[in-house]
Amino acid sequence: MAEKKKSKAREDRVILSAKDGSIVDRDPGDKRPPSQRKSDAGKKRIFAFVLWALAIVAEIVAIWTFNNFSVLWPSLAAIIADAVLCIIAAQFWKQANRLDPPKGKFLKNQLGVIMALIAFLPLGYFLLKNSKDMPAGAKKIIAVVAALAFVLTMGMSIEYNPVSQADLDQAERMAIEYGGAAYWGKYSKSYHFDPDCRTLQNSSQIYEGTIEEAFELGKTDPCDFCAGGGESKSILENVLGDDAENPDTEEE
């Protein structure tokens, strides 16, 4: 059988563990079992619901302080807290869906958007209804803060690249074919199966972990050169070399 096709290794490359940031060798990490993934995803979903509940409390506080305080800062603080809690909750929800993808459910993938609407629309309606009684300066300040908080929260809550179970299963199979480990750059959206991939050559520091950890961190796009992404050759061509082009060839 032909040897695996590998890119030239970069000698100054540092590979860090996705778990704790420590320097690791190139031995592949352990694969997280499905039961553990579901358990971890369940915990993240619980955290998300708790934070969304707190965000709704912050919304109520913002309305109450607006009615009962002559200064704006308590309401502004509550609006900002509402946004921060929604954003953090949405990140937990998205991480959970990457660990345990929902079965083609739009509402589950975009629940962060729905909860952001719940946490802001009543507040917006209240402010619009009562804005006529506010001084012009105060009205402008609270309108700008509320609008920015809402737009930022919505933008951070949207799941732009929802993951399906089929995506995760395929990535796991490919990871096994290539040795079990996945690699990625700190700011990249792609995962790699070759730490010396040409697209990682400019990175002096990369992370190594399981494919599940890559998905959890939002690295859900397979590299075009070493993970079968886009219109590139199949990962099997990288793993099996010439044998991928001659599937009937048997190992001697």
Global model pTM greater than 0.75: no
Q: What is the DSSP letter of 220?
A: -
- Taking 80 as the threshold, does the pLDDT of residue 48 lie above it? yes
Assign 252 to helix, strand or coil.
coil
**DSSP string for 154-209:** HHHH--SSPPPHHHHHHHHHHHHHHTS-EEE-SS-SEEBS-TT-GGGTT-SEEEEE
* pLDDT above 60 for 138: yes
Q: Between these two residues, 46 and 72, which has the higher pLDDT value?
A: 46
Q: Quick one: tokens of 101?
A: 């993808």
Pairing mode, strands 221-222 and 190-191: parallel
Residue 250 has pLDDT above 70, yes or no: no
Gyration radius of the chain over CA positions: 24
**% of the chain exceeding 90 in pLDDT:** 26
Which of the two residues, 228 and 221, has the higher pLDDT score? 221
For the chain, give every domain's residue range. Answer: 14-31+180-244, 34-157
Q: Quick check: 158 pLDDT over 70? A: yes
Segment 184-210, tens digit of pLDDT:
888 888 898 888 888 888 888 888 888
H or E element that contains 17:
strand 14-17
Element (H, E) at 45: helix 34-68
Q: Indicate whether 88 pLDDT > 50.
A: yes
| H or E stretch covering 136 | helix 136-157
